[in-house]
Structure 1
Amino acid sequence: MADEVSADSVTLNLLLNARVTVRSSPLGVINTPMIPWSQTTLPPNNARNIHIKLENMQRTGSFKIRGVANQFARRPNGGHFVTMSAGNYGKAFAYASKHYGSKGKVVMPETAPVSRSVLIQSYGLDVERVPTSCLMDVVKRCVQEDNMTFLHSYDDLDLIAGHASLGLEVLEVVPEPDVVVVCCGGGGLLAGVAAAVKLSGCKKTRIYGVEPEGACTMFKSFIEKRPVDMDTHSIASGLAPPFAGMLPYELCQRYVEGIVLVSDDDIKAAVSTLYKAGLVVEPSGSAAYAAIASNKIPKLEGKDVVCILSGGNLGKDELGNFPD
């Protein structure tokens, strides 16, 4: 898909149409709440006004269902699909597959929590766990030998357009944010949100992506001026794909102010702090908050800021990884 389109393919009209598709999807995508930081028990911040987008409350527990809803709406029911995912996309993919009567396989990195593999299998899909560096090799084998159709978990036009619905929802509450902070793995969510915000006319909004230090493919892509791959390692497994997507890279180059990095310790502290405030957020979903809390985003004082908590799929087998 990515080699057939470019950033010019992503227009406001495309994103608005995708929002209609996502909102009317039989998968039950919801308009998640936005709450002021000041109305939580989170530690105070010097930004004038921070809104937190609670995508951890989304159907299937993360933003991924948005892109999946748009992908499946444009493909025939009962297909035979394969994808690669560390968990959240796989869960949404499995949920949609069951609804549409499709068969499928999720190829997962060995580092992903086992609880996520079990959950995906409960929807009737196959799961194959492999080293991160082998993900695409296994996907290609499934396409060539088993005649399966590959649905990309972040480098796909329909997916990115679906994710953009989140950005459009943000603007319904905060029409002209000064800063928007979004996690970044392969870049699908960041690209969709950034395109939605910028194409809606918010030219002065600064949009930042947040990556783990050990899985900074988009950060390195910005430096090298091309999508790069790397051997990724992070507690935030959902933000650690082996390479940045081509279409997400092009869109992020056009619309994103910059990529900032957070450590695994920053992420662990963020998960713990959010949990104490009554917000169940997984490591990948807490990256944007971690960047704000650890002062990695420049010039927030006196600004209107949006922080996206992108997912809340935190299994019992993961809770012991975080400080009390």
Structure 2
Amino acid sequence: MDLVTLRDVQAAAVRIERIAIRTPLLPFGEDFWLKPENLQPIGAFKIRGAANAIAALEPSAVITHSSGNHGRALAYAAARRKIPVTVVMPDTSPKVKVDAIAALGAEIVMVPPPQRLEVAEKLAAERGATLIPPFDHPEVIAGQGTIGLEILEDLAEQPEADVIIVPVGGGGLISGIAAAVKALRPACRIIGVEPELAAESAESLQRDRLIKWPTEKTYQTVADGVRTAPSALTFAHMREYVDDIITVSDEEILKAVGVLATQARLVVEPSGAISVAAYLYRRGFLPGGRTAAVISGGNVDPELLRSCL
């Protein structure tokens, strides 16, 4: 299986430079930085992979499946090119994410969680549209990897990054970051973080084979953006490049959302806060050294945010 290369990620950086912003590295403690992708135009890192895939593939129509952020990113990027988009969403998706996608003019198809991929593939075949999945695609992975380039560049004038902590769901984000970072700085440790209730990647690496949990279990976690299992493609990247994956509880995730809001002044959704939850509450499981944590998104339900405060 061909893995995404540094050259792929560098090409993606050129394609997306006018649509995805270069988010800053924010100091948040001694030798600890936050990479706040919640500041992207659609509130999540997904804009990078979506914009790169659309630019590279030049589709006439797009279909995807998404819990929210990828669908919104595709709708945003496609609207700039007047490309129609259909987003198949699990019927458990937060209303704030559904409404945001609808506001961008995308067609939304709601389905039970286990059917999202099947329905998206069926619609793409029926309509002759291009399927751009949320993580299982090399152009999507390459786009997400541009975060890794930026982290290394922004710390280049200081002692380099020793550890990068990355949220893990389907694995596209950590696959792209790890592929880029390990090519430029092999000694940098790439650590993934998953909710305890959706720790399929951690178990897959432990068993050295792809493991999938039932959605009845993974959809219990409050971190709705990381409820999906890795694909064969993303698991291959993780097995090659990722040093470890640790887990955090939902309680720790929600506490991290509150800490980020009150101390870092960042509005972060639970999926985006899991990397910081690991740093705050599972420090003993992390390598030492200069550390950057990726905050993957900020599209949080207002009522949930209020409860965390």
TM-score bracket, normalised by the shorter chain, equals over 0.9
Structure 1: which 5+ residue stretches go unaligned?
Answer: 39-47
CA distance in structure 1 between the aligned counterparts of 2:284 and 2:104, rounded to whole angstroms: 39
CA distance in structure 2 between the aligned counterparts of 1:304 and 1:206, rounded to whole angstroms: 10
Counting only pairs closer than 5 Å after superposition, residues 34-73 of structure 1 correspond to structure 2 as: 34-38=25-29, 48-73=30-55
Q: CA deviation at 1:148?
A: 2.5
CA distance in structure 2 between the aligned counterparts of 1:269 and 1:222, rounded to whole angstroms: 27
Q: TM-score, normalised by structure 2?
A: 0.93
> Aligned AA for 2:262?
K
Shift of the 124–261 alpha-carbon distance from structure 1 to 2, 3 Å rule, reads same
Q: Which stretch of structure 1 is more off in the superposition, 160-169 or 140-149?
A: 140-149
Conserved? CA contact 1:167–1:196, under 8 Å: yes
2:208 maps to 225
Conserved? CA contact 1:64–1:89, under 8 Å: yes
1:41 maps to none
Shift of the 80–317 alpha-carbon distance from structure 1 to 2, 3 Å rule, reads farther
1:186 maps to 170
Identity %: 35
CA distance in structure 1 between the aligned counterparts of 2:227 and 2:286, rounded to whole angstroms: 27
CA distance in structure 1 between the aligned counterparts of 2:173 and 2:276, rounded to whole angstroms: 16
Instruction: Look up the SS of the partner of 2:291 in the other structure.
Output: strand
CA distance in structure 2 between the aligned counterparts of 1:230 and 1:260, rounded to whole angstroms: 17
CA distance in structure 2 between the aligned counterparts of 1:93 and 1:37, rounded to whole angstroms: 31
> Aligned AA for 1:17?
A
Conserved? CA contact 1:260–1:296, under 8 Å: no
Structure 2: which 5+ residue stretches go unaligned?
Answer: none
1:32 maps to 23
CA distance in structure 1 between the aligned counterparts of 2:242 and 2:15, rounded to whole angstroms: 25
Q: Deviations over 1:36-62 (max 9, x none)?
A: 113xxxxxxxxx511111111112111
Instruction: Look up the SS of the partner of 1:275 in the other structure.
Output: helix
Q: Deviations over 1:84-122 (max 9, x none)?
A: 111111110110121111112111112210121111111
Select the residue among 225, 236, 246 that pairs with 2:223: 236
Counting only pairs closer than 5 Å after superposition, residues 1-324 of structure 1 correspond to structure 2 as: 5-7=1-3, 10-23=4-17, 25=18, 28-38=19-29, 48-76=30-58, 79-175=60-156, 176-200=160-184, 202-231=185-214, 232-233=218-219, 234-241=221-228, 243-277=229-263, 278-296=265-283, 298-301=285-288, 303-320=289-306, 322-324=307-309
Conserved? CA contact 2:12–2:52, under 8 Å: yes
Conserved? CA contact 1:22–1:165, under 8 Å: no
> Aligned AA for 1:66?
R
Conserved? CA contact 1:115–1:317, under 8 Å: no
CA distance in structure 2 between the aligned counterparts of 1:95 and 1:179, rounded to whole angstroms: 32
Q: TM-score, normalised by structure 1?
A: 0.88
Shift of the 125–317 alpha-carbon distance from structure 1 to 2, 3 Å rule, reads farther
Q: CA deviation at 1:296?
A: 4.7
Shift of the 299–309 alpha-carbon distance from structure 1 to 2, 3 Å rule, reads closer
Q: CA deviation at 1:75?
A: 2.2
CA distance in structure 1 between the aligned counterparts of 2:305 and 2:92, rounded to whole angstroms: 16
> Aligned AA for 2:24?
P
CA distance in structure 1 between the aligned counterparts of 2:308 and 2:103, rounded to whole angstroms: 30
The alignment yields a C-alpha RMSD, in angstroms, of 1.6
Shift of the 122–13 alpha-carbon distance from structure 1 to 2, 3 Å rule, reads same
> Aligned AA for 1:285?
G
CA distance in structure 2 between the aligned counterparts of 1:57 and 1:105, rounded to whole angstroms: 25
CA distance in structure 1 between the aligned counterparts of 2:297 and 2:190, rounded to whole angstroms: 19
CA distance in structure 2 between the aligned counterparts of 1:317 and 1:102, rounded to whole angstroms: 33
CA distance in structure 2 between the aligned counterparts of 1:296 and 1:149, rounded to whole angstroms: 42
CA distance in structure 1 between the aligned counterparts of 2:194 and 2:284, rounded to whole angstroms: 12
Conserved? CA contact 2:194–2:274, under 8 Å: yes
Q: Deviations over 1:146-204 (max 9, x none)?
A: 3332111101101111111110000012232111100000000001111111011x121
